[in-house]
Amino acid sequence: MADADPDIRVRDRLTVGPRYTAADAAALNARFDRVSTQEMLTVALRERLLGNVAAVSSFGAESAVLLHLIASVDPSVPVLFLETGKHFPETLAYRDLLVERLGLTDFRNLTPDADLLAAKDATGLRWSYDPDGCCDLRKVEPLARGLLGFDASFTGRKAFQSATRTALPRFELDTSDAVGRLKVNPLITWTPADIDAYFAQHDLPRHPLVEQGFPSIGCQPCTNRVKPGEDPRSGRWAGWDKVECGIHKPLPDGDPNLPSF
């Protein structure tokens, strides 16, 4: 039997229990090909194409853009922030500013498990000798708990940020678990000029560390300034063979999530 209309198939899947497949991600990529980010978000949220969806935000250098886009459609979309206990004070202040400024009505701080921290990072220095283990404790595990019950999540990833993000599609399967959760990258094709123009058009406040040479901002111990012309994420985990914290994993070659164009 031929497949039904792909959009109907995705919606029906939400009503019968199973979550998404690679075919669902491909159908959504096809449906929204060449559709603007604003229109895609409006349709996806108002028609509930993504089921129960949350936005995962670092409240970093460019986070205000995606949060503003989402809040413009539905400010009640849950926004998840990984409160690692290692953030710059400026990031926490910026988080509070944006939550109030954008009227985000379902903001959630996700914190590490206290027992796990006591057992595996009692000194708080694991970042200095095992950054992967530190990220697992403070980001990966809390987010896995925080996303329970959600069918999809929005990310702020953009292709220009690093080599591991250049080929990402708008819609993909979340490879961090086996439940078939969808991951949506609304800004994946946006350029730095697009980001700057959106900030200016909507008079959005900038993260205070950007003008100090931090184009990508994570936890304070593992974030350094970046020189002009360098990869925006080169200041993250400098000196380590590490480019992602673990909540996003690069898609393998030949993965069906990868676009064919």
Spatial CA neighbour of 121 closest among 146, 147, 85: 85
Binding residues for [4Fe-4S] cluster: 134-135, 219, 222
* In the chain, alpha helices (H): 6-16, 22-31, 37-46, 63-73, 89-102, 114-120, 131-135, 141-146, 192-201
pLDDT at 7 exceeding the cut of 70: no
DSSP one-letter string for 138-193: IIIHHHHHHTTT-SEEE----GGG-GGGTT--SEEE-TTSSS--EEE-TTTT--HH
pLDDT at 258 exceeding the cut of 60: no
The whole-angstrom separation of Cα 49 and Cα 82 is 26
Of the candidates 245, 246, 247, 248, the residue annotated as catalytic is 245
Confidence class for position 2, pLDDT limits 50, 70, 90: very low
pLDDT at 67 exceeding the cut of 90: yes
Give the residue-averaged pLDDT of 129-152. Answer: 92
Give the contacts of 111 (CB within 8 A, at least 6 positions apart).
83, 85, 142
Binding residues: 134-135, 219, 222
101-115, 151-165, 212-226: segment of lowest average pLDDT = 151-165
The model carries a pTM of 0.83
pLDDT tens digits, residue range 196-233? Answer: 999 999 999 999 999 998 888 989 998 888 877 776 76
pLDDT at 168: 82
Give the residue-averaged pLDDT of 71-90. Answer: 97
pLDDT at 180: 85
Which one-letter amino acid corresponds to residue 4?
A
Give the residue-averaged pLDDT of 10-26. Answer: 64
- In this structure, the dihedral spanned by the alpha carbons of residues 141, 120, 224 and 211, taken in order and rounded to 10 degrees, is 50
pLDDT at 242 exceeding the cut of 60: no
Question: Any bridge partners for residue 183, and if so which?
Answer: 153, 172
The whole-angstrom separation of Cα 56 and Cα 8 is 26
Provide the phi-psi class of 92: left if phi over 0, else alpha when psi is between -120 and 50, else beta.
alpha
95 carries an active-site annotation:
no
The whole-angstrom separation of Cα 143 and Cα 63 is 17
Confidence class for position 239, pLDDT limits 50, 70, 90: low
Question: Any bridge partners for residue 152, and if so which?
Answer: 53, 182
The whole-angstrom separation of Cα 87 and Cα 106 is 21
Q: Length of the chain in residues, anyone?
A: 261
Confidence class for position 126, pLDDT limits 50, 70, 90: very high
pLDDT at 17 exceeding the cut of 70: no
